[in-house]
Amino acid sequence: MKARRAAGAVLGTGVLLCLLAGVAVTALGIRVDGTSMAPTLHQGDRVLATPGSAGEARRFDVVLLRATGKDALLVKRVIGLPGDRVAIVSTPDEPFRVLLQEGGKGPLYRVAAPQWAAQAHRTGACCTPEGSRSARAELRTVPEGAFFYLGDNPDLSDDSRAYGWGEIDRIEGRVGVRAFPVSSSPDIGNRPVLEEYRGPSPWRGS
């Protein structure tokens, strides 16, 4: 009898903890709306921000931010940091080549992400002095206190190409884990890497 009562207590505690966890995810988790971060994040996913990460930008992290002049919370990936030079080169064969020069010096790298290659079909170059899309590929320096950000689904993402440089102090947190659905891996994944670039050189702006 005691064993049954103990088992029941353990089961009841487990159920209660699961309910509390569900309530916490619903209350604290940020719901992803739209497909701009697919396949990394999907419509309806809930993510949790890393505590104490507000106002921080680290290369290739996924962050929660509010674009300048826009109240909606965006979920995007950090690409360029202050002092970096960034550009997007578009050719008929490859319409989305994201280029990066770390700290504005040294070699020019290509930001390689398999999810971009599979989904980028629209041509378009970057950047203007404000960090948005431009008529031709131009290397631009990310200003102090700002960063350049993109979605993992380039053709369906409104990001720096639409809004210009992001403001680091408007970052509300770094996405730490995917909390829902529970069947998904909590790891965000799909982190880009830097590769040697030997393609056409963009015009070097300011």
Distance CA 21, CA 41 (A): 21
Distance of CA 90 to the CA centre of its chain: 21
**What's the chain's Rg over C-alpha atoms?**
20
36 is catalytic: yes
2, 70, 76, 160: which is the annotated catalytic residue? 76
Rounded alpha-carbon distances, angstroms, from residue 16 to 6, 12, 20, 123, 182:
15, 6, 6, 52, 17
Q: What are the percentages of helix, strand and coil residues in the chain, rounded to 5?
A: 20, 30, 45
105 is catalytic: no
36, 53, 134, 160: which is the annotated catalytic residue? 36
Residue numbers annotated as active site: 36, 76
